[in-house]
Structure 1
């Protein structure tokens, strides 16, 4: 298993990006300003895009694993790598997600806790209804994990 930082031509991974964020113009809002990490285990399995939002505050904007590889630990391993990569620089890691029975428990297992939500985010910013696990996503749930910068 190897994880690589992608510095250019990030759109070549658009098919995987669209698994986590269904609308390309929304991906365009963060893709170039974010750092992209891709995980290979033989072939490409997962990716993650992280942006710096403030001094010491980073946000996971997109994390996706191809469907046939989901549930095998690739997403969790990528998040663990992200935590290591930003160690000493990140005091708070945020992630915004839908209030879904699929994603919220995943982030909780990775050490995130609920922070706040943005009402009607998905209905206001996407041109079509988005469903996950049979549930329409309406509000964005923000989750956070805080780190001690002294470590």
Structure 2
């Protein structure tokens, strides 16, 4: 039987994520600043995706207002990527936020890379660019495919009012 049938996604506390080294490693895959990760974890909604009790993905949201959340981090274990786990985790989180009565999810990501298409397939749309974000907010340069991230693209998905 295919492992995708064993994928479970559940809400966990920030402390539960911090107690598991694999979860910390995954969070740092998506955001290389441990200081930033620890800062936004404090008051976050966290989710963990597991296959057969092994963590394969994590997701972190912060509440910006009663009707808006920000997706701070989503990551899938490198050996488990491109199997639909990230899509299922993101769709689960989007459904959870919509069911909570919120009307919007925002996120920031680099201006290039595979994650941009990943978010757009889920319904996120570009809103603005924050110039020099990665230069101002990270001690070390952030590279992807040999290209340095400098600017952040802000995306959002809005839910239809009932």
TM, length-normalised to structure 2: 0.88
**Which structure's residues are more often helix, by fraction?**
2
Structure 1 segments of 4+ aligned residues over 6 angstroms from their partners = none
Distance, in Å, in 1 between the alignment partners of 2:146 and 2:119 is 19
Counterpart residue number, 1:100? 112
Aligned alpha-carbon RMSD (Å): 1.2
Query: Which sits farther off after the overlay, 110-119 or 83-92?
Result: 83-92
| Number of aligned residues | 150
Asked if residue 33 in structure 1 is aligned to residue 39 in structure 2, the reply is no
2:134 to 122, 129, 132: 122
Counterpart residue number, 2:63? 52
Asked if residue 146 in structure 1 is aligned to residue 153 in structure 2, the reply is no
Determine if contact 1:5/1:38 at 8 Å carries over to the other structure. yes
Give the superposition deviation at 1:41.
1.8
Distance, in Å, in 2 between the alignment partners of 1:37 and 1:142 is 22
Distance, in Å, in 1 between the alignment partners of 2:50 and 2:92 is 13
Query: Which sits farther off after the overlay, 96-105 or 122-131?
Result: 96-105
* Runs of at least 5 residues in structure 1 that lack an aligned partner in the other structure: none
Distance, in Å, in 1 between the alignment partners of 2:136 and 2:159 is 32
Query: Which sits farther off after the overlay, 4-13 or 71-80?
Result: 4-13
Asked if residue 109 in structure 1 is aligned to residue 109 in structure 2, the reply is no
Give the superposition deviation at 1:54.
1.6
Distance, in Å, in 2 between the alignment partners of 1:90 and 1:131 is 33
